Chain A
Amino acid sequence: MKDSQTGGKQRSNLSGTFVFVLMGVFALFCIVMAMFSAALFKNVYTQAQAETEKRILFNYAVNAVRAYDCADSVFIQEKGGVKALVLSDTQGENVYENSIYLYNGALRELYLERDSEFIPEYGEVIAPAEAFDARLENGLLTLYITAPGGEERALRVYLRAGGGGRKP
């Protein structure tokens, strides 16, 4: 009688320990799973964000050039100490210039009336970038853009209208 009571008590203790260990393992799995999911989500989000910024950076200037592709409207000019890709636009008697340039670690855009004072700080940030350069030869505009990670890209746009660009 006494032996069966001791055996039952031992089994009960063992079962209690097993339940406790099982709960511990369960809690551990929960924590690992939560941490793993959070890390994966962060990774995917960061990757998507970087990809979006890269897409904006590599497509914005090219699409802007296409939008402004008229005779004598695309040229490269040094403005306010920075080399800018200038896209000019005539509205009535006024000529406006949309300048795309690199300033303070970002590709920027500044839309001004021609002959207005060009202050690079005022430009609106398009996307972060490390380097930006442009070259126009025989109507083929080549944009050299370096993304924040160091990815360098040469993007070409052939200017269809008016023989392609003009000298400033």
Chain B
Amino acid sequence: MTYRPQNALLLEIMLSILIFALVSTCLLKVFYAVHENAREAEIKNEALIVMKDLSEALYANEDHAALLIKEGFLKAGDGYEKEYNGFMLSVRPYASDTPEGVMMSADIAFIIGSRREAAFTVRRYYPGEAVP
């Protein structure tokens, strides 16, 4: 077997290309993951802003159902849902009657795909008339 310097050079270049291709693939995967993370963070941030805003509106209004319909929510089961760009907001309002008044509550959650990402409950107590 004869040693040819050109063959060795060719082998070296091909190895370099192979390594380069592998590293490029890894880099592209990393960049794609970063891009996806940034996009997801953007959606989550947007969802939290919308959730907070809606929770304040619910706190200020006694008639949750009317407010949600006015905000563009659609009835879904025992709650209401609205599609936003990249996420969905789900609200389930309910009232608990007590002899002293009414506790108005609403569970708010945002869903990305089929994943429930975050949820919290807004509660406001409306005292009734004094019981003699």
Contacts and interface: CB of A to CB of B under 8 A. Distances in A.
Contact of A19 (B10, B59, B60): B10
B49 A153 contact: yes
Nearest to A40: B31
Contacts of B114: none
A37 B20 CA distance: 14
A131 B13 CA distance: 58
B31 A158 contact: no
Interface size, A (range)? 20 to 34
A139 B56 CA distance: 11
Interface in B1-47: 6-7, 9-10, 13-14, 16-17, 20, 24, 27, 31, 34-35, 38, 41-42, 45
B60 A139 contact: yes
Interface string A28-42: 011001000100110
B38 A30 contact: no
Q: Is the interface of B mostly helix, strand, loop or mixed?
A: helix
Interface in A62-87: 62
A16 interface: yes
Interface residues of B, number: 25
Contacts of A30: 20
Given A41-B31, A44-B35, A62-B52, A22 B10 contact: yes
A43 B52 CA distance: 29
A19 B49 contact: no
A125 to B, nearest CB: 21
Interface of A: 12, 15-16, 18-19, 22-23, 25-26, 29-30, 33, 37, 40-41, 43-44, 47-48, 51, 54-55, 58-59, 62, 138-140, 153-158
Of all A-B residue pairs in the complex, the 4 with the closest CB atoms, nearest first, are A158-B60, A156-B56, A140-B60, A40-B31
10 contacts: A19-B6, A22-B13, A22-B17, A29-B20, A47-B38, A48-B41, A51-B38, A140-B57, A156-B57, A158-B59
